[in-house]
Amino acid sequence: MKAITYERFGSARNVLRLDDVDTPRPDAGEVTVDLMFSGVNPSDVKARAGTRPGVTRPPFPLVIPHSDGSGVISAAGDGVDPARVGERVWIWNGQWRRAFGTAASQITLPQDQAVKLPDNVDFETGAVLGIPGLTAAFTVFSGGDVASKTLLVQGGAGTVGLLAVQLAKWGGARVIATARGSGAERAREAGADVVIDYAEPDLGARILAANSGQPIDRIVEVEFGRNIAADTEVIAENGTICAYGSALEMEPVLPFYPLLFKAVTIEIALIYLLGDAERRSTIDRLNRALSEGALRCPVERVFPLADCAAAHEAVEAGNRAGAILLGTG
């Protein structure tokens, strides 16, 4: 199979290369998927660059990057229903704690990691579901139904944030989002009831004013350290702050007493490590929203497989209006 590989950390153009690699045969409980698209996420870029603390070399001699993808099952190992061959699927955790991910023409992995793609959903969308889609669904619904609640989505124009806005609206919530510039319009188009510039110096006061002075039931947080003061100001008693990122402030100082006297739950979401029951529930919510046509997953650009380095650079550059994919089919 054709695959993008690397053997050492470094810049995309210095370490990524297009190779021919043998396709692993599916063992018991596994499937082989002929991939159509591979999703390129910030975590994939950071893993290739070697920027994770304490990690000095790749965990495997040869790595095929990327965890997300979509395609068609072409082979099944023992114990897998043969009827799954030919099934359209999306992939989660393709390269998480495994050597070979989705930046290839094929991938072989446990069958549970190849989820049936709803009939009305295209392959491009499927390649956005593994990390952004599941993260959005978990951060919105990990506490249960959100109908009649008010949710704040910090960073409502990013890939995860935009999906979180749509999912929260689908779940019956009132949604306040933060974004700025052209992102504000994207968040509105996704269904946000109110959009506030996240750079406003009185952000907390503006959020409360947008909610008629009432505190917020749940916060989906992309920049936990940067926003914890405003989040603490607006969160309701017994509310939840579910954070999936804190890139701008990795060692935040928490206002413990204000959080304590609101009995706030702080939940840190790392979608790779969901338990089995949590993952099944999150996948079910996500696929139901997709089946009902409630979710639009914008794609900014699709790069050819051979241009994987350029795709990594596009993710590193930021300021995107949609996901970055590789065409692998």
What is the per-residue pLDDT for 106?
Answer: 98
Rounded Cα gap, residues 140 and 182, in angstroms? 24
Rounded Cα gap, residues 237 and 1, in angstroms? 54
Beta partners for residue 266, in sequence order:
241
φ, ψ dihedrals at 295, nearest 5°: -135, 125
Q: What is the CATH number of domain 2-128+297-327?
A: 3.90.180.10
pLDDT tens, residue order, the chain (329 aa): 999 999 999 999 999 999 999 999 999 999 999 999 999 999 999 999 998 888 889 999 999 999 999 999 999 999 999 999 999 999 999 999 999 999 999 999 999 999 999 999 999 999 999 999 999 999 999 999 999 999 999 999 999 999 999 999 999 999 999 999 999 999 999 999 999 999 999 999 999 999 999 999 999 999 999 999 999 999 999 999 999 999 999 999 999 999 999 999 999 999 999 999 999 999 999 999 999 999 999 999 999 999 999 999 999 998 899 999 999 98
What CATH fold (topology level) applies to the domain 132-272?
Answer: Rossmann fold (3.40.50)
Whether the Cβ atoms of residue 247 and residue 224 lie closer than 8 Å to each other: no
Phi-psi region of 29 (alpha: psi -120 to 50; beta: other; left: phi over 0): left
What is the per-residue pLDDT for 54?
Answer: 82
Burial class from Cβ neighbours inside 10 Å (0-12, 13-18, 19+) for residue 22 reads exposed
Cα end-to-end distance, the chain, whole Å:
11
- Helix axes of 276-291 and 134-141: crossing angle, nearest 10 degrees: 100
Q: How far is CA 301 from its chain centroid?
A: 17
Residues 6+ apart with CB under 8 A from 210: 176, 194, 196
To 5 degrees, how large is the angle CA 78–CA 33–CA 292? 105
Q: Give me the numbers of helices (H) and strands (E) for the chain, helices first please.
A: 11, 15
What is the per-residue pLDDT for 51?
Answer: 86
Residues 6+ apart with CB under 8 A from 291: 118, 120, 121
Alpha-carbon distances of 91 from 103, 109, 197, rounded to whole Å: 12, 9, 34
Q: For strand 174-178 and strand 194-196, is the pairing parallel, antiparallel, or unpaired?
A: parallel
Alpha helices in the chain (DSSP H): 12-15, 42-49, 123-126, 134-141, 159-170, 182-189, 203-210, 224-234, 256-260, 276-291, 308-317
Amino acid present at 82: P
Q: Which tokens sit at 225?
A: 């350290």
Domains of the chain, by residue range, sit at: 2-128+297-327, 132-272
Rounded Cα gap, residues 279 and 110, in angstroms? 15
Residues 6+ apart with CB under 8 A from 115: 89, 90, 91, 92, 129, 283, 287
What is the per-residue pLDDT for 10?
Answer: 97
R_g over Cα of the chain = 20
DSSP codes of every residue in 50-95: T-STT--S-SSSSBB--SEEEEEEEEE-TTS-GGGTT-EEEESSSS
pTM: 0.97
